[in-house]
Structure 1
Amino acid sequence: MLFDVAPKERREDLYDRERELQELRDALELGERLVVVYGVRRVGKTSLVKAGLRELEVPHVLVDVRELYYAENIIRMQALVSRVVEGFRRQLRWYRRMGFDLRSALRRIRRIRVGDYEVEVEPGARVLLTSLLSELDAWCRRHGMRFALVLDEAQYLRFSNVRYDGVIAWAVDNLPSITLVLTGSEVGLLRDFLRVDDPEAPLFGRYRREIRVERFSREQAVGFLLEGFRELGVTVGEGEVEEAVERLDGIVGWLTYYGYYRAVRGMPHREALARVFEEGSRLVLAELERAIAPSRRRYAAILWAVAHGASRWRDIKAYVVGRTGHITDRRLSDLLKKLVKYGYLVKEGGEYRIPDPVVRRACLNLRP
């Protein structure tokens, strides 16, 4: 169902992502070892990857790195391994259908127990991610298969005393039957973490396939809503679809929420739109507060100013100084650059704006 608000796992539940799916298919069929999927929040990166891997019947595990960071404020190796093992457990039955024998693949790692219905790490055991991936790679090579480890919101790997960029580089160099898929909505921060253009960085010179998931064009957004309503047998006015696209832009996540409220929950058009902004703003603010916590008053002042129409550097600075006191030009520029890297702002022609309409609504009420 196009209007399912959960991440999609079937190709037929995606709309007009054939190019991106083909890119992912090509990477896996060619045995490429590193795939990086970029895209702003809520354009469907996770759905694309999950649906693509399912369709291709590639055994895989997906770990939400951001959720792990929010839980512990650091990405410990053992916590990451535990999440991988949890992913194994959730997909045991599917693995069997695919002919992927996890018990055989991990038999040499004695601290991981694989049963018919459970997979667990022995209490207190220390299992290295490199060891885990090495055993998976060895089994896949013997049986002509490929395994994919998906690290969703991989930019959060930077919060660790482990050099995960080095671990990734080692895997790319040494594990020919493993594909690492990294996704990131904070595009600038993911690029900073990978540092693929830095001669001193572990990943410098390594080949990677980059897949960019863009927001829908106006035509795609209209087509998505019309197809979703048709799928559910719901008739809506053309003006309703036009207004929804005008207000929600091409962010597929918000369009999906609108379709869900309108068609599945049966809300009137205006109420459905209002609910998207209401619920979406709460979700956005929860995420935003974590991101801006290190310098909350100044970040909040910047976002509030831009949300209210201040787009030029000097106008933003005037408001920030008025609300939070003196700030150097360099410090303000650094904060603006970070907000661009987080994806909350874009800079075009010397002007700043908030590209996501729901984020913009949330920032209207973000008091410094």
Structure 2
Amino acid sequence: MNLLGLDRKGLEGFFAEMGEKPFRASQILKWVHGRGVTDFEAMTDLSKALRARLADEAEVRVPEAVMDQNSEDGTRKWLLRLDGSNAIEAVLIPEKNRETLCISSQVGCALECSFCSTGYQGFNRNLSTAEIIGQLWYVNRILEREGEGRQVTNVVFMGMGEPLLNFKNVVPASELMKDDHAYGLSKRRVTLSTSGVIPYLDRLTEVSDVSLAVSLHAPNDELRNELVPINRKYPIAELLAACRRYIADKPHRSITWEYVMLDGVNDTDAHARELVDLLGDIPSKVNLIPFNPFPEAPYRRSSDARIRAFARILSDAGLVATTRKTRGDDIDGACGQLVGKVADRTRRQEKRARREQVTGA
């Protein structure tokens, strides 16, 4: 049993089966996540007998980095090895008074958004809770070793994968992030980004209060069907209704709408006005994301002037609109560029190549 992946509830159940008291969960959380200790023998407030039993029945297995890249703007990306031929990427984005870690929830992505490099690489499997929280554990240990008093202050589930399609492992990982004996992050500093898997979004409403970001990228179904294919199953009207339900009992909360800016595709004044009408009564923040190119991409980034004009229409209508600063693109660590190393079970690239052969594209 890898204790790295057990939240408080999971640890309490683990120790109950051993005949131990529930408070052992808090002790392990402090040692493993708060202090970064993986050797049971070093956990001195546990009895020798319990330490010996834990060494026999459990472990704390942490990630291993096979690549560490630094961007000119201070962004840093790690490639973390998993089982077999799979690896995932995690990205640290430093800002004044903030260290934001972008983490992955799947090896590749089960969805196929047309503007995202991760989707082009295919999909292998969900990450375990230990593999998800391990990204935060690993980066905090790196920051501790390098000194300067830095630590991760914000976590965003915006790396590889669709978090809600790994619901059973993402939720306990987010609980660990918020646990005062582990990482102590507030609910506003843990953000889950989703393309809109509505059944799981409704389940999230029942069990979690993390911040929510939604990959919208289009103001109407016809265009979103092309950019975010899951929209064909869960169209925009149903998605908006689910988002309203998510924040209904959360005072002063809003939805962040992610909107990638694609030249001549979704960035006209008409699109902006349509977006204003769409969001209407929902407390919203719109995050405009300049498109980050990758080799197979069929799109170009909107010009800075076009992005400013789009943002102005949103702001004049009373929406909070920000433009995300592109970070880490020189190391392919920017939004939509993460690829990792995926043993693709979907054979997505092979199928795409065959389609292109047939169509002559």
**Superposition TM-score, scaled by structure 2 size:** 0.30
* Higher relative helix content: 1
Greater share of strand: 2
